[in-house]
């Protein structure tokens, strides 16, 4: 697949995740974080299996692939979603947005230390520009309210997700990341269900008391926000690697803001627009798109 198509898939995943964040905040008003996440992930896993079955992409993994799947399920599903949802109930969306914006930086550092795959200087500039842009957007919403337990939970959530991208990248050599996503969600939902029984006993009864509009949001979050979003992103990680894919996470903050404007009545300021410019510049440089374009033009120039 051509690189620009992967970039479109990544941008689409960020649009989905961006709108899913305020939706998650709404769902957590009615059902406990672990219980709600358990059944949302289960719905997502079933959805991915149905989609892959229609395209005849389902097969049993090998013993080595099961190791990657289990590791990915623990990091990308259980720990990431557990700490993210626990964090969202204890911190502001402003703080969470800034912390999630550290994802590309953490990914670049992790890839350098663990995989010995060092980003170029231009890509590092893109990572830093993206971080500046995310900071500008988040601080425009009222600044940091101070470190809280929820902030620590959100940071742990993004850290374990970054580590899971490395696992997915390695597994993608033999296993379709979309199929890996389906198995990870199935295993992860079972483990989260066990945790929910311990941490939130009886919380499943809360589903009987939610308003009807809750189920529309729940279906949208599970099927689109989780199933489709993770399938697109994990597939892209397998194609371009964790560093280039992670830089697109910066878009998450902007689309989360747009969702808040549309559904919560928040206002976009000049600082938001400045942040958007930095984020776009960071994505173009950090993803390697600028370098790829420059090399192509340089190659054409040399030929002439």
pLDDT digit string, tens, across residues 81-105: 899 888 877 766 656 666 666 667 6
Query: What is the residue range of 184's domain?
Result: 3-303
Q: Is the pLDDT of residue 147 over 80?
A: no
pLDDT at 62: 96
> What's the full length of the chain, in residues?
304
- 42/188 Cα distance (integer angstroms): 8
Q: Is the pLDDT of residue 169 over 60?
A: yes
The distance from CA 94 to its chain's CA centroid, rounded to whole angstroms, is 17
DSSP per-residue letters across 95-135: HHHHHHTTHHHHHHHHIIIII--PPPHHHHHHHHHHHHHHH
Tell me the average pLDDT across 187-214: 95
- Going from the C-alpha of 261 to that of each of 3, 48, 66, 257, 265, the distances in angstroms are 31, 30, 42, 6, 5
pLDDT at 192: 96
Q: Using CA of residue 195, residue 198, residue 203, residue 205, what is the dihedral sign?
A: positive
Greatest alpha-carbon span in the chain: 72
pLDDT at 262: 75
Confidence of residue 3 (pLDDT cuts 50, 70, 90): confident
pLDDT at 224: 96
pLDDT at 136: 67
Average pLDDT, rounded, for the chain: 82
Q: Choose among 246, 141, 228, 250: nearest CA to 181.
A: 228
Confidence of residue 138 (pLDDT cuts 50, 70, 90): low
pLDDT at 53: 95
Q: Is the pLDDT of residue 289 over 70?
A: no
pLDDT at 228: 95
**pLDDT tens digits for range 33-74:** 999 999 999 999 999 999 999 999 999 999 999 999 999 999
Q: Assign 3-state DSSP to the chain and report helix, strand, coil percentages, each to 5.
A: 80, 0, 20
pLDDT at 181: 95
Q: Is the pLDDT of residue 300 over 60?
A: no
Tell me the average pLDDT across 198-211: 95
- 88/91 Cα distance (integer angstroms): 6
Q: How many domains does the chain have?
A: 1
- 111/98 Cα distance (integer angstroms): 21
- Express as a percent the part of the chain with pLDDT over 90: 44
pLDDT at 84: 84
Tell me the average pLDDT across 173-177: 94
pLDDT at 118: 65
- 42/55 Cα distance (integer angstroms): 20
């Amino acid at each position: 697949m051509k690189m620009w198509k992967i970039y479109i898939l990544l941008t689409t995943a960020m649009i989905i995740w961006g709108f899913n964040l305020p939706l998650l905040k709404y769902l957590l008003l009615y059902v406990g974080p672990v219980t709600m996440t358990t059944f949302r992930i289960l719905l997502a896993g079933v959805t991915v299996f149905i989609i892959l079955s229609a395209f005849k992409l389902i097969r049993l993994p090998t013993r080595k692939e099961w190791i990657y799947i289990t590791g990915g399920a623990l990091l990308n599903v259980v720990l990431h979603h557990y700490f993210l949802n626990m964090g969202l109930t204890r911190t502001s969306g402003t703080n969470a947005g800034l912390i999630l914006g550290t994802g590309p930086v953490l990914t670049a550092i992790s890839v350098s230390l663990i995989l010995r795959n060092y980003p170029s200087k231009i890509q590092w500039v893109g990572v830093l520009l993206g971080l500046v842009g995310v900071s500008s957007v988040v601080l425009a919403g009222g600044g940091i309210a101070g470190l809280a337990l929820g902030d620590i939970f959100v940071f742990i959530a993004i850290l374990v997700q970054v580590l899971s991208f490395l696992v997915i990248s390695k597994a993608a050599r033999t296993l379709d990341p979309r199929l890996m996503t389906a198995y990870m969600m199935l295993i992860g939902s079972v483990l989260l269900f066990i945790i929910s029984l311990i941490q939130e006993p009886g919380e499943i009864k809360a589903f009987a008391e939610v308003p009807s509009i809750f189920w529309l949001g729940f279906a949208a979050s599970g099927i689109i926000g989780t199933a489709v979003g993770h399938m697109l992103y994990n597939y892209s990680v397998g194609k371009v690697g964790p560093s280039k894919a992670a830089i697109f996470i910066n878009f998450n903050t902007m689309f989360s803001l747009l969702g808040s404007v549309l559904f919560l009545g928040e206002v976009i300021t000049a600082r938001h627009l400045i942040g958007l410019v930095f984020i776009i510049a960071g994505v173009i440089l950090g993803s390697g798109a600028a370098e790829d374009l420059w090399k192509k033009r340089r190659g054409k120039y040399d030929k002439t």
